[in-house]
Structure 1
Amino acid sequence: MDIVMTVAGSDSGGGAGIQADLKTFQELGVFGTTAITALTAQNTWGVEGIVSVEQDFVKQQMLTVLADFPVRALKTGMLFSAEIIEGVAQVLADKDMLLVIDPVMIAKGGAPLLQRSAIEALKKHLLPIATVITPNIPEAAELSGIEITSAEDAKKAAHILLQTGVNCVVMKGGHLEGDQAVDAVYFADGTSFMMESQRIRTKQTHGTGCTFSAAITAFLGKGFELKEAIIEAKKYVQLAISHPLNIGNGHGPTNHFAYKHYKNQVEVMVVEA
């Protein structure tokens, strides 16, 4: 059995965070384990409250799981504070594990999910040991320190992030303009490629970042090469957005079940740079 782990916050609405990760893991046939960093009271309208978990208990959750299960790949989502980031990095320092970082900063409804003091901690402690990071445009701008309004800006930001030591940067293009959504993938060895898909104009996008990074984690856990895992994860999240559940009255969740039902209908064009 392929075993993976998510270190992230809980979403009481079920569309993002730990809940989205576990649904994605289940759908993709891997066994998911967890360490919860924060509890949120939220729905599709937004986040009403956040309670952070103490650093020591986040570490205890991780260490307890890792002592028993051969976890092959691990993802981080909402880490909330510098203390939690430092604790996660301490646990992973001596572990030979594939690490996917979704730098969760702001909820769909606008609530901040990462304290400002934690941004430097993320860059200092986790990016140097990461296999891949999956920022959207606002997150990449915050982490790189440059304004991003074009694909060229996104490329510059990606190269700034690569200098932190991360092996691969997936610059998600959902916030840029155009009929095509273009995700650009840059590797530390200088290679890159693009993934192009039809832009879907919808409010049913809650949890897309969590779902995408969880899918990468699942495919890595199953033994996929990194490039293959990223491409297949893009197909998974594209289908999850394309076939909405239409539940909730705000930013509705994606459809984690869609991949199994519509796997052969997805179109993602891969363009080598």
Structure 2
Amino acid sequence: MVPARILVIAGSDSGGGAGIQADIKTIAMLGGHPMTAITALTAQNTLGVSGVMPVPSDFVVAQIDAVMSDLGADAVKIGMIGSAEVAERVADRLVGFAPLPLVFDPVMVATSGAVLADEATIAAFERLMAIAALVTPNLPELAALTGRGIDDLAGLEAAALALAGRTGAAVLAKGGHLPGKLLTDVLAHDGRILHRWEAERIETTNTHGTGCTLASGIAALLGRGHALIDAVTGAREYVQAAILRAPGLGGGHGPLSHVLGTVPWELARRV
């Protein structure tokens, strides 16, 4: 099987639970070949982010060019972007690769609460959303992008429709921040809600990297040729399985088990 080529443009997580590290593991587990353009280095663990070092925009673009000029890509995932300048330069470059499916996770705040995007960077997200096939905001990100207060599912859907209408992208609004035992995600596009996914909330603190994992999983499945709703369904199932098998590492928000509690090489040797 020739793997789908997935380019990830995102920041690094030294703790291995989110960012580029989570993206690489997810894409590999879902049958893709992960390639990267790193936008920032972070010093972080399950307790928080203690430092961020942005990568110069010229070098971010150089990474993209190196990958695309030789390997090519079947889909792109964008996560932590680092700065407004990087957002603008990445948008300039990716416009030329249309209609390559692009999944944009508008990362603003880490699970630990650390701010990962300033106001100028968030403003520059507009250009990335305009070329994205899918944008995957959680509730606080969706509220920031639309300027709306969101208190319930109806508010989440209205904000998702507003963002989709403004950007032209499909919007997967994640409802995990809403209260209640039932978690609902909604997909908005073309003026309507295309699909809703419901699942019982998993009570755990091991959720570091769920947003990165979901977005990179969707990109991997889109790159393999899955339709959008099927790609979201498959990626959500993978995230849920990875949460349930989380190893409980660290003293804060622990990472998922991207290998689902297995040692894949040992399994492969038995075949």
Shorter-normalised TM range: over 0.9
CA–CA distance in 2 between the matches of 1:164 and 1:119? Answer: 15
- May I ask how many residue pairs the two structures share in their alignment? 260
Offset, 1:188 = 2.2
Are 1:76 and 2:75 counterparts?
Answer: no
The one-letter code matched in structure 2 to 1:43 is: N
**CA distance, structure 1, for counterparts of residue 67 and residue 39 of structure 2:** 15
Q: Distance in 2 between matches of 1:215 and 1:139?
A: 19
State which of 100, 105, 118 in structure 1 corresponds to 2:103: 100
Q: Is the 8 A contact 1:45 1:109 kept in 2?
A: yes
* Stretch moving more, 160-169 or 195-204: 160-169
Q: Following TM superposition, by how much is the alpha carbon of 1:170 offset from its aligned partner in structure 2, in angstroms?
A: 0.5
The equivalent of 2:266 in structure 1 is none
Other-structure match for 1:270: none
1:183 maps to 185
Structure 2 stretches of 5 or more lacking a match? 264-271
Matched AA of 1:72: D
Q: Distance in 2 between matches of 1:216 and 1:166?
A: 18
**Contact between 1:27 and 1:260, CA under 8 Å: does it hold in 2?**
no
Q: 1:33 aligns with which of 27, 32, 35?
A: 35
Consecutive unaligned residues in structure 1, runs of 5 or more: 262-273
1:114-263 matches, cutoff 5 A: 114-123=117-126, 125-188=127-190, 190-258=192-260
User: Match of 2:81, as an amino acid?
Assistant: L
Inter-partner Cα distance in structure 1 for 2:208 and 2:149: 24
Counterpart residue identity of residue 202, structure 2: I
How far apart, CA to CA, are the structure 2 residues paired with 1:156 and 1:29? 35
Between the aligned partners of 1:219 and 1:152, the Cα distance in structure 2 is 29
AA paired with 2:122? I
Task: Give the one of 63, 66, 69 matched to 1:67.
Answer: 69
Structure 2 length normalisation: TM-score?
0.93
Residue aligned with 2:195, SS:
strand
Q: How far 1:235 sits from its partner (Å)?
A: 0.4
Contact 1:41/1:48 (8 A) holds in 2 = yes
Shift of 1:76: 0.4
Q: Rate the CA distance shift 1:260–1:245 in 2: closer, same or farther, 3 A.
A: closer
Q: CA deviation at 1:259?
A: 8.9
Deviations 1:224-258 (A, max 9, x none): 01111011111011111122111111000011112
SS in 2 for 1:111: coil
Of 201-210 and 113-122, more deviation after overlay is shown by 113-122
Does the C-alpha gap of structure 1 residues 10 and 62 become closer, same or farther in structure 2, counting only changes over 3 Å? same
Quick one: percent identity of the two aligned structures?
44
- Matched to 2:109, the amino acid is I
Aligned equivalents of 2:175 and 2:245: distance in 1?
20
| TM-score, normalised by the number of residues in structure 1 | 0.92
* Structure 1 CA distance for aligned equivalents of residues 112 and 152 of structure 2: 24
* Paired residue type of 2:210: T
Displacement of 1:45 in angstroms is: 0.3
Match of 1:109 in 2: 112
User: Which of 72, 90, 93 is 2:92 aligned to?
Assistant: 90
CA gap of 1:165–1:29, structure 2 versus 1, over 3 A, is same
- 8 Å CA contact 1:133–1:166 kept in 2: the answer is no
C-alpha spacing 1:166/1:255, structure 2 compared with 1 (3 Å): farther
Matched position secondary structure for 1:248: coil
Instruction: Measure the CA separation in 2 of the matches of 1:219 and 1:84.
Output: 26
